[in-house]
């Protein structure tokens, strides 16, 4: 995985969540994102990238880096 966060992902997180300071190692729970925030975030991802993310896929994500890794693996970013 790249060391730097993809700019599109970074912008999406900044604009669509209440999270201000984060990096690839940022844990969703440590960022104060509750379950509703996480679902909302997935909806933003699905709309922005015109994809469907399975519930079981998202439930495995613990960090922002996990999201980027998934998007890169699926060749979305």
Catalytic residues: 34
On whether the CB atoms of residues 6 and 24 are closer than 8 A, the answer is: no
What sections of the chain are H helices per DSSP? 7-16, 35-49, 55-60, 64-73
Sign of CA dihedral 56, 61, 66, 67: positive
């Amino acid at each position: 995985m790249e060391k730097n966060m993809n700019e599109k992902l970074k912008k999406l997180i900044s604009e669509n969540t209440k999270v201000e300071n984060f990096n690839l190692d940022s844990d969703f729970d440590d960022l104060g994102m509750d379950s509703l925030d996480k679902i909302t975030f997935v909806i933003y991802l699905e709309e922005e990238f015109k994809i469907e993310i399975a519930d079981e896929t998202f439930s495995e994500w613990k960090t922002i880096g996990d999201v980027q890794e998934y998007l890169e693996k699926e060749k979305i970013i």
